[in-house]
Amino acid sequence: MTLTREEAEAFLFEEARFLDESLFNEWLNLFSADGIYWLPIVDGSDPEREPSIIYDTGKAREQRVYAIRHAAHYAQRPPSRTIRYISNVEVGAEPDANTVSLRNNLLVLEFRPGDRQQIGLAQQRLIGARCEYRLRQENGWKILLKKVLLIDRDAPMSNLSFII
């Protein structure tokens, strides 16, 4: 079983829309129970021994979403607005017939509304990344792994308090 590129794009576009519209429960439901959301610092490193920017299991993803919605999580007060652009989508085969791999390029435009004279607010930020997914068929495609390789993953970065 595999995906056409059009089906893969539909999957990725829907995820992008969930995040851009803060539909976090819908986003959580895209993942398999043992799925991982991973932003490495070094591609190919062992995430259980080497630091990552994010390495979230199911529980950690739920915690992240809970915190983002919490009124006192100041780094997201006001919350970021985002627009995601997805391109260069490719579908690859996996040894297991029930899984498929995708890769794509991602551009996220982020903006936190507010007063431009308040440091950190009302500034646009562009985040570039290459993404790699592994999806498994579980009554619909579910994410086993979402790996986001930020272009500046090993450099100092500004506050990263929203989901990429």
Binding site residues, other proteins, CB under 8 A = 39, 41-42, 45, 48-55, 59-60, 62-64, 66-67, 70-75, 77, 117-120, 154-161
Quote the least distance from Cβ 47 to other proteins, whole Å. Answer: 9
Any residues with CB less than 8 A from the CB of 80 and at least 6 apart, and which?
110, 111, 112, 161, 162
Nearest CB to other proteins, comparing residues 21 and 154: 154
CA distances to 36, 39, 61, 84 from 70, rounded to whole Å, are 23, 23, 14, 24
Q: If you search the block for the tokens 């652009």, which residue do you land on?
A: 85
Nearest CB to other proteins, comparing residues 20 and 62: 62
Quote the least distance from Cβ 56 to other proteins, whole Å. Answer: 9
Any residues with CB less than 8 A from the CB of 128 and at least 6 apart, and which?
105, 106, 107, 150, 151
The Cα–Cα gap between 108 and 120 comes to 17
Nearest CB to other proteins, comparing residues 1 and 115: 115
CB-based contact 132:103 (threshold 8 Å): yes
Quote the least distance from Cβ 106 to other proteins, whole Å. Answer: 16
Do you find a cis peptide bond into 78, omega within 30 degrees of 0? yes
Nearest CB to other proteins, comparing residues 97 and 157: 157
Quote the least distance from Cβ 136 to other proteins, whole Å. Answer: 24
Nearest CB to other proteins, comparing residues 95 and 156: 156
Any residues with CB less than 8 A from the CB of 116 and at least 6 apart, and which?
122, 123
Quote the least distance from Cβ 101 to other proteins, whole Å. Answer: 24
